[in-house]
Amino acid sequence: MAEVLVLAELNPADGGPRKSTLEALTAARVLGEPSAVVLGVPGTAAGIKDVLAEYGAAKVYVAESDDVDAYLVAPKAEVLAQLVAEKSPAAVVIPSSPEGKEIAGRLAIKTGSGFLTDVTEIAADGTATQVAFAGATIVHSQVTVGTPIYTLRGNSVTPEPAPAAGTEEAVQVAVSEAAKQTRVLDRVVEQKSNRPELTEAAIVVSGGRGVASAENFSVIEGLADSLGGAVGASRAAVDSGFYPHSFQVGQTGKTVSPQLYIAVGISGAIQHRAGMQTSKTIVAVNKDPEAPIFELADFGVVGDLFTVVPAATEQISARK
C-alpha cells in the first residue's frame, strides 16, 4: 500500500498533537497508509507516538533537532523534502496552519510538485475539495505535477481512530545554512484562556458591532462558556476595540467551521461570512430583522441581544 506522509502539528502548550494532526491522519487514509512525521526538539516524539499510532500512523518518522525549532519554516520543509526523496510517498498531508501552508509551499518547490491549501476533503483519486470566495464556491482541484501536497483545513474532517503499528524510525537531521536565516527569538503567549482554540472549537460564539463595547463582550463570553465554546469577534467589533484581533473571524481573520456558530449582534457582511459560512449550524441574534446574517442562519432570533443572550446563558447553565 502506498505511503502517505502526514506532518504532525503539535500543541505548543503541552507538546501533544493538535486535533488537526488527528484530522490529517484520518483524511490521509483514503490515499494510502499514513506515516506521521514528527519535527521538533529532542524528546518531542516520545510522548505522542502512541496517539499517532492510534489514529493510523503505521510509521512515525522522528526528526528531532534544535535547529528545527530555532528557525522559521525552512528547516521543516528541508527535512520533509529529504523524506519525500527517500520514501517516494503517494502524497503529503499537512495541517493548514500558516506555518503548515508555508512548509507545503516550500516543499512543493523543493520537490517539483504542486500543492493545494485549505482543502476540506481528499478523495481516493487525489481530487481535493476547496472552498473559494467567502465560501460561495466549492472547487474540486488536483495536483498535476510531482508528489501531491495538501494542507487540510481544521475541523473539516472528524478524527477517527484506526490503530496501526506506529513503528518509530529515526531521521537524521542536517539543516543547511541556507535554511537557518530566520531565527525564532521568542514565542510569546499573550492571551491565556481556558476556552478552546477558535479554529478547533466545536462551538463558536461571536460578537459584532451590536455588542457595543469591550465590557459588554462578557455577554458573549458568558454564552460561550455555558456551551464550552470559543469566543470570536467580527471585524467591526475588533476595529472598534471591543475584542483582540486574534479572535477576529472573517476574510482578514480566522476561518472557522464549527458544529455550531452563534453570531450575536453581527450583521453578516461578506467580510464576516468568509470566515464562518461553512459552519454546520448557524444561529443568529440581531435586532435588525433585515440583517443579512439571517439569510445564512438555520435559526435566528430578532431581538435585543442584551435580553436574549443572558437569559439563554442562564437557561443553558441551569440545564447542566
Positions in 64-83 near other proteins (CB under 8 A) = 72-74, 77
Q: Which is nearer to other proteins, 38 or 305 (CB)?
A: 305
| H or E element at residue 85 | helix 74-87
The whole-angstrom separation of Cα 241 and Cα 58 is 48
Stretch that binds other proteins, among 26-34, 166-174, 204-212, 309-317 (CB under 8 A): 309-317
Q: Which is nearer to other proteins, 25 or 198 (CB)?
A: 198
Out of 43, 186, 194, 215, name the contact with other proteins by CB under 8 A.
186
Asked whether position 165 contacts other proteins by CB under 8 A, the answer is no
Asked whether position 194 contacts other proteins by CB under 8 A, the answer is no
Asked whether position 108 contacts other proteins by CB under 8 A, the answer is yes
In the range 6-65, which residues lie near other proteins by CB under 8 A? Answer: none
3-state secondary structure of 260: strand
CB 57 within 8 A of CB 169: no
In the range 197-236, which residues lie near other proteins by CB under 8 A? Answer: 197-199, 203, 227
CA angle 235, 94, 11 (to 5 degrees): 70
Residue 276 dihedral angles phi and psi, to the nearest 5°: -140, 0
Asked whether position 2 contacts other proteins by CB under 8 A, the answer is no
In the range 81-100, which residues lie near other proteins by CB under 8 A? Answer: 98
CB 37 within 8 A of CB 80: yes
The whole-angstrom separation of Cα 279 and Cα 262 is 10
3-state secondary structure of 98: helix
The whole-angstrom separation of Cα 89 and Cα 91 is 5
Q: Which is nearer to other proteins, 15 or 54 (CB)?
A: 15
The CA-atom distances, in angstroms, between 18 and each of 76, 201, 258 are 17, 12, 16
Out of 140, 158, 165, 170, name the contact with other proteins by CB under 8 A.
140
Least separation in angstroms between residue 141's CB and other proteins is: 5
Q: How many residues bind other proteins (CB under 8 A)?
A: 92
Asked whether position 146 contacts other proteins by CB under 8 A, the answer is yes
The whole-angstrom separation of Cα 59 and Cα 63 is 13
- Name which of 260, 259, 236 is nearest 248 in CA terms: 236
Q: Which is nearer to other proteins, 60 or 104 (CB)?
A: 104
The CA-atom distances, in angstroms, between 145 and each of 106, 128, 222, 241 are 15, 15, 50, 46
Paired strand residues for 63? 39
Asked whether position 1 contacts other proteins by CB under 8 A, the answer is no
Q: Which is nearer to other proteins, 13 or 46 (CB)?
A: 13
CB 285 within 8 A of CB 262: yes
Q: Which is nearer to other proteins, 170 or 184 (CB)?
A: 184
3-state secondary structure of 203: strand
Stretch that binds other proteins, among 43-51, 82-90, 113-121, 156-164 (CB under 8 A): 113-121
Sequence length of the chain is 320
Out of 102, 120, 122, 166, name the contact with other proteins by CB under 8 A.
102
Stretch that binds other proteins, among 2-10, 29-37, 140-148, 167-175 (CB under 8 A): 140-148
Q: Which is nearer to other proteins, 92 or 164 (CB)?
A: 92
Least separation in angstroms between residue 170's CB and other proteins is: 26
Asked whether position 290 contacts other proteins by CB under 8 A, the answer is no
Out of 88, 213, 218, 281, name the contact with other proteins by CB under 8 A.
281
CB 243 within 8 A of CB 207: yes
